[in-house]
Amino acid sequence: MIQLFNVTKAYGKESVALREMSVHIEKGEFTYVTGPSGAGKTTFLSMLYGASRPTRGQILIDGINITRMARRQIPFLRRKIGVVFQDFKLLNSRSVYENVAFALEAQGKKRYEVSKKVYQALKEVGLEHRLQRRPIELSGGEQQRIAIARALVVDPLILLADEPSGNLDLEVTLEIMELFKRANARGTTVLLATHDNSLYQRFPKRVLGLEAGRLVMDHQP
């Protein structure tokens, strides 16, 4: 599903965020990406959904070489990928419903189809009773669940999560892990960047360890 061949990402001459990284991730895998701050986790994930391009090397997603991809093709890559961030990236001027519907509307889905899917996705994360609220009126955990609903409502092949529980307490983190595991069980490939070691002790899965831009560990439980 995801293949990297000698991928290097440099910002200017001095700062190299990733060095010669090669890795294969199979369809349906659940993978942690760990490492200290500045190791290159965010850089790695951002290249997978076309937010930045590698300086050298090739990346294949679902068999397509995205390093050669034309700019106008990137939206179509992103439709296969759901992304979740530490800071949620929700629109506080919009209702919960609209926030989730956004992802489907962007793909030009029909209105009746949108409402059905949005409701299902919100039910999946247990927030179907919050449809008309604004995200800002909800707790951090609820907001992150909305962001996850938005990422999953399009049935993505891949789910990328960058420190999704960075701002949340343990109980909420466990709820969110449950959502990721369920998505994974339905066949979505999940990549979760975190520096929280307790997570993979609790839910042992494959771990990619980064340090100063190098892949220093690839551990299968």
Partner 1 sequence: MLEKIRYFIRRALRNMRQWPVLCSAAILTMAVALATMATFFLVVLNIQGLATNWSQEIQVVAYFKTPPPRNQRAKLIQQVEAFVDVNQVVFISPTEALKRFSTRLGDDAGLLEGVSRTLLPASLEIRLKSGSHSREGVERVVAELKKDSRFNDVRFGQEWLERFENFVNLLKFAGLFLGSLFLLAALFIVSNTIKLTLYARRDELEIMALVGATKRFIQIPFLLEGALQGFAGGLLALGFLWLSFKLLLEKGLHSFWLTPVGFDPIFLSTEQQFMLVFSGVLLGLLGSLASLRKFVRL
Ligand X SMILES: Nc1ncnc2c1ncn2[C@@H]1O[C@H](COP(=O)(O)OP(=O)(O)OP(=O)(O)O)[C@@H](O)[C@H]1O
Comparison of 42 and 144: residue with beta carbon closer to Mg ion: 42
Interacting positions 106-125 with ligand X (CB under 6 A): none
Comparison of 87 and 113: residue with beta carbon closer to ligand X: 87
Of 29, 3, 26, the closest CA to residue 184 belongs to 29
Tell me which of 15, 55, 65, 120 binds ligand X, using CB under 6 A.
15
Alpha carbon distance 96, 17 (integer Å): 35
Phi, psi of 220 (to 5 degrees): -100, 135
Task: Tell whether residue 90 is a contact of ligand X (CB under 6 A).
Answer: no
Interacting positions 158-187 with Mg ion (CB under 5 A): none
Tell me which of 6, 11, 106, 136 binds ligand X, using CB under 6 A.
11
Task: Tell whether residue 194 is a contact of ligand X (CB under 6 A).
Answer: no
Alpha carbon distance 103, 89 (integer Å): 13
Comparison of 21 and 81: residue with beta carbon closer to ligand X: 21
Tell me which of 13, 37, 63, 221 binds ligand X, using CB under 6 A.
37
Alpha carbon distance 28, 1 (integer Å): 8
Q: How far is the CB of 11 from ligand X (least distance, A)?
A: 3
Q: How far is the CB of 196 from Mg ion (least distance, A)?
A: 13
Tell me which of 1, 17, 59, 114 binds ligand X, using CB under 6 A.
17
Task: Tell whether residue 41 is a contact of ligand X (CB under 6 A).
Answer: yes
Residue range at the interface with ligand X (CB under 6 A); choices 11-19, 105-113, 126-134, 173-181: 11-19
**What is the DSSP track for 33-62?**
EE-STTSSHHHHHHHHTTSS--SEEEEEET
Q: How buried is 212 (Cβ within 10 angstroms: 0-12 exposed, 13-18 middle, 19+ buried)?
A: middle
Tell me which of 43, 143, 144, 173 binds ligand X, using CB under 6 A.
43
Alpha carbon distance 25, 23 (integer Å): 7
Which letter does DSSP use for residue 26 in this model? Answer: -
Q: How far is the CB of 196 from partner 1 (least distance, A)?
A: 24
Q: How far is the CB of 103 from partner 1 (least distance, A)?
A: 4
Alpha carbon distance 122, 52 (integer Å): 30
How many Cβ atoms are within 10 Å of 192's Cβ, its own excluded? Answer: 29
Q: What is the contact surface with Mg ion in residues (CB under 5 A)?
A: 42
